[in-house]
């Protein structure tokens, strides 16, 4: 059946190879790749995670994929994507036999364009279940048929495109008993084994998971999950993994997280952090954001420390896109990027835990400028042409220098002001933007025929060299 534990090595980009850090399928869990003078550290979550042999994912909101800021972060930073909503039953089979794969297909296309794994979420769940299933009053044989048709049709459609499926989601109550979903009440305990067998028949190569929340700690609910998966394995039911959603609260990362994951990996199952976020009472202050950073790092390190923890997925990119404020009024700031898509301390914490470093430890690009200062003089006047080459891109510039004699009577390609011997030239509207390595020029005429040598010229406050 080939359902064995292994570390996924997805999302290894060409960039990682160019950097030459230890790509290390051999990297040991918990040992960050070390940077040396010759090697740069990964500067994105996905490169850093690849160097550790795990994937890093995000839930993707289909409606935001057209936002280029959002989609750039999704593609640059993550090696795995989970459909936040579009692969759920109500989206994919809103009425019986009417399958709508458009949203899921968009995600698959996005993932394939960006060398990403797709995590399928979710096949059998009590929520976001259309009323024709939830309240349909079906007999056991009808509902069994409906459930199996749904699993088979969806998995057939995505066969080869979706690496992991949450086959069953949120099957437990907090006390570890079964949640009384329509599947549980109509089909009984056996519906989970049946769903996994059907899923295995539909796509024998996809990894098949059961996923839940509040099972991160060793508690009654995770005991229920543990007993279930132990029993499924004993019955030979094809199951590969357990997803720990990890919708956490600041300062409440469970101390038993690692040992709890390990009791599942000791059964031979993969474990995955599938929906990580850490919510804070709003407004979040900077001390809380620092602790949140440490806690994202701690969860990431916990996964790295557990052989068989194959990935960490965060539930959304920015705080503004998160489900949290809608469901927990007064709480939020649960993600790695803020409302303006700026990385938060939590981003740096997670990247660092993965052995990466913002900027990758790359040397700062060289800064500087060089000047050519060409003078044409006659007895009572001079024309000076200044040309400056900049090593960094400019979005507006200001050039300062001294003029030992004379008054500027005319100038071009800059706004020029003179105060005694001090001259300031600022960009004109048409030459404010200069690419790195590019140059710009301006000129002026004076009423002095004195000999002008090239002065010290500064660009945006830093002195240039003379070309």
User: Rounded to the nearest whole angstrom, what is the least distance from the CB of residue 415 to ligand 9MR in the complex?
Assistant: 51
| Closer of 127 and 447 to ligand 9MR (Cβ) | 127
Nearer to ligand 9MR, 167 or 384 (CB): 167
Q: Measured from the CB of residue 303, what is the shortest distance to ligand 9MR in angstroms?
A: 18
Residues in the chain: 467
Q: Could you say which of 170, 216, 288, 357 is catalytic?
A: 170
On whether the CB atoms of residues 82 and 116 are closer than 8 A, the answer is no
Axis-axis angle for helices 68-77, 45-52 (nearest 10): 20
How far apart CA 425 and CA 416 sit, in angstroms, is 4
Task: Scan residues 127-186 and list those touching ligand 9MR (CB under 6 A).
Answer: 127-128
275 near ligand 9MR, judged by CB under 6 A: yes
Q: Nearest to ligand 9MR by Cβ — which residue?
A: 323
Residue 452, classified by CB atoms within 10 Å of its CB into exposed (0-12), middle (13-18) or buried (19+), is middle
- x/- string (CB under 6 A) for ligand 9MR, residues 306-335? -----------------x------------
Per CB under 6 A, does 64 bind ligand 9MR? no
Helix axes 257-265, 286-305, angle to 10 degrees: 30
Contact between 85 and ligand 9MR by CB under 6 A: the answer reads: yes
Q: Which helix (H) or strand (E) holds 291?
A: helix 286-305
Could you give the CA distance from residue 259 to residue 37 in angstroms, rounded to a whole number?
A: 37
Site for ligand 9MR in 225-254 (CB under 6 A): 245
Show Cβ contacts of residue 28 under 8 Å, excluding neighbours closer than 6 positions: none
State both tokens at 353. Answer: 């835990």
| Residue among 51 and 313 whose Cβ is closer to ligand 9MR | 313
Torsion region of 94: left, alpha or beta (phi above 0 gives left; psi -120 to 50 gives alpha) = alpha
Binding residue for ligand 9MR, selected from 62, 77, 84, 338, defined by CB under 6 A? 84
Q: Is-catalytic flag, 170?
A: yes
Please state the closest distance from residue 182 (CB atom) to ligand 9MR, in A.
Answer: 16
31 catalytic per annotation: no
Which is closer to ligand 9MR, CB of 125 or CB of 442?
Answer: 125
CB of 256 to ligand 9MR, least distance (A): 21
Residue nearer to ligand 9MR on the CB measure, 111 or 371: 111
Nearest distance, CB of residue 245 and ligand 9MR, angstroms:
5
* Whole-angstrom distance, CA of residue 299 vs CA of residue 261: 11
Task: Tell me whether strands 369-378 and 465-466 are parallel, antiparallel or unpaired.
Answer: parallel
Rounded to an integer, what distance in angstroms lies between the CA atom of residue 245 and that of residue 225?
13
CA 162 to chain centre: 19
Q: What tokens appear for 464 in the block? A: 């240039």
CB of 63 to ligand 9MR, least distance (A): 10
Residue 82 or 446 with smaller CB distance to ligand 9MR: 82
Select which of 77, 84, 194, 275 is catalytic: 275
Number of residues that bind ligand 9MR (CB under 6 A): 8
Query: What's the longest Cα–Cα distance across the chain?
Result: 106
**Interface residues toward ligand 9MR, by CB under 6 A:** 84-85, 127-128, 213, 245, 275, 323
Residues annotated as catalytic (active site), given as ranges: 170, 275
């Amino acid at each position: 059946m080939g359902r064995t534990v292994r570390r996924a090595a997805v999302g290894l980009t060409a960039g990682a190879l160019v950097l030459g850090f230890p790509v290390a399928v051999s990297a040991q869990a918990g040992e960050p790749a070390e940077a040396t003078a010759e090697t740069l550290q990964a500067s994105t979550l996905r490169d850093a995670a690849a160097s550790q042999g795990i994937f890093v994912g995000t839930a993707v909101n289909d409606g935001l994929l057209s936002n280029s800021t959002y989609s750039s972060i999704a593609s640059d930073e993550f090696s795995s994507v989970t459909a936040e909503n579009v692969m759920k039953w109500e989206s994919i089979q809103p009425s019986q036999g009417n399958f709508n794969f458009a949203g899921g297909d968009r995600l698959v296309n996005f993932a394939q364009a960006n060398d990403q794994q797709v995590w399928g979420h979710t096949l059998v769940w009590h929520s976001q279940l259309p009323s024709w299933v939830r309240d349909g009053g079906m007999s056991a044989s009808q509902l069994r048929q409906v459930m199996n048709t749904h699993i088979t049709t969806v998995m057939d459609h995505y066969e080869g495109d979706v690496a992991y499926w949450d086959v069953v989601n949120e099957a437990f109550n907090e006390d570890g008993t079964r949640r009384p979903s329509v599947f549980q009440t109509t089909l009984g305990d056996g519906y989970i084994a049946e769903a996994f067998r059907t899923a295995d028949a539909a796509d024998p190569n996809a990894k098949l998971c059961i996923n839940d929340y509040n099972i991160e700690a060793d508690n009654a609910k995770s005991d229920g999950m543990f007993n279930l998966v132990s029993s499924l394995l004993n019955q030979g039911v094809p199951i590969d993994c357990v997803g720990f959603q990890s919708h956490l609260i600041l300062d409440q990362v469970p101390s038993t997280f690692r040992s709890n994951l390990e009791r599942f990996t000791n059964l031979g199952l993969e474990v995955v952090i599938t929906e990580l976020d850490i919510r804070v009472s709003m407004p979040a202050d900077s001390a809380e954001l620092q602790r949140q950073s440490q806690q994202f790092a701690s969860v990431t390190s916990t996964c790295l420390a557990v052989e068989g923890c194959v990935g960490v997925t965060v539930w959304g990119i920015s705080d503004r896109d998160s489900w949290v404020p809608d469901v927990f009024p007064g709480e939020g700031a649960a993600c790695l990027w803020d409302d303006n898509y700026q990385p938060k301390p939590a981003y740096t914490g997670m990247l660092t835990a993965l052995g990466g470093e913002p900027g990758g430890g790359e040397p700062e690009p060289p800064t500087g400028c060089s000047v050519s200062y060409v003078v044409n003089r006659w007895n009572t006047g001079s024309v000076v042409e200044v040309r400056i080459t900049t090593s960094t891109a400019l979005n507006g510039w200001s050039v300062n220098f001294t003029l030992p004699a004379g008054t500027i009577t005319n100038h071009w390609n800059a706004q020029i002001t003179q105060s005694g011997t001090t001259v300031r030239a600022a960009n004109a509207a048409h030459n404010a933007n200069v690419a790195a390595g590019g140059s710009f020029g301006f000129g002026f005429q004076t009423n002095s025929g004195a000999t002008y040598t090239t002065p010290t010229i500064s660009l945006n406050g830093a002195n240039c060299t003379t070309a």
